[in-house]
Amino acid sequence: MRLALFGGTFDPIHSGHLEAAISAADAHALDRVLLVPSGVPPHKPDACRAGYEHRFRMVELACASDPRLAASRLEEPRPDGKPHYSVDTIRRARQALAFEPPLRFVIGTDAFAEVCLWRDAENVAAAVEFLVVGRPGCELPATGETVATRRIFVPCAHPASSRTMRHRVKIGGTLADLAPPAVCEYIWERGLYRG
């Protein structure tokens, strides 16, 4: 099985995330892309507006659109409240999942530009092949700016962002152009992102 991990806060998941996952799967004949909501993101531990279970459920709903996509609890919150680091998530995935090497890691250009700042960055870079997804307004960093040498660019032009979705909810705007209908319904029915 050709496998990729795609982590993020997914607060909430949107059509840009889905387009990135599907583009990566199409371009690299992936059998499965695991979308991994972060329980406690190390770079912004108090930033998530919706709880983990809400975010995980929205990812599940969004993944129903393509059989190659699946929600994963690899970064479910720990009892001690400590964050998950990518190096640990990759290690757990390598131990628990059967896949054909290399393990791929879907990442946006903005996050990829900061890989060199991650915990144990060199081991992360050695353990995966990065599928770097283009985002509007972001360019792929030059080779010298990152520890990651195994990287492939995956174009994706969908303009959606989680910030835009949260803002639209706050002002009572439509989400139809930003996320799958099931995710939009879930947000409205549970009153997420209104305060």
Question: 45: domain CATH number?
Answer: 3.40.50.620
In a domain, 165, yes or no: no
Q: What is the pLDDT of residue 71?
A: 98
- Would you say residue 135 has pLDDT above 60? yes
- Would you say residue 129 has pLDDT above 80? yes
Going by C-beta distance under 8 Å and a sequence separation of 6 or more, which residues neighbour residue 156? 16, 19, 20, 23, 133, 134, 135
- Would you say residue 143 has pLDDT above 50? no
In a domain, 190, yes or no: no
Q: How open is the CA angle 20-25-27, to the nearest 5 degrees?
A: 90
Mean pLDDT of the chain: 90
CA of residue 78 relative to chain centroid, distance: 19
Distance CA 72, CA 93 (A): 10
Q: What is the pLDDT of residue 145?
A: 52
Output DSSP code: residue 141: P
In a domain, 40, yes or no: yes
In a domain, 175, yes or no: no
The two three-digit tokens of residue 151, written as one number: 């990287």
- Would you say residue 136 has pLDDT above 80? no
Range of the domain at 132: 3-160
In a domain, 28, yes or no: yes
- Would you say residue 75 has pLDDT above 50? yes
Task: Sheet containing 103-108: give its strands across.
Answer: 69-71, 32-37, 3-8, 103-108, 128-133, 151-154
| pLDDT interval class at 110 (50, 70, 90) | confident
Distance CA 43, CA 40 (A): 9
Q: Which residue carries 């099985």 as its tokens?
A: 1
- Would you say residue 151 has pLDDT above 90? no
In a domain, 179, yes or no: no
Q: What are phi and psi of 34, to 5 degrees?
A: -90, 115
In a domain, 189, yes or no: no
In a domain, 168, yes or no: no
Number of domains in the chain: 1
> Which tens digit of pLDDT belongs to each residue from 2-47?
999 999 999 999 999 999 999 999 999 999 999 999 998 887 666 7
Q: What is the pLDDT of residue 4?
A: 98
- Would you say residue 144 has pLDDT above 60? no
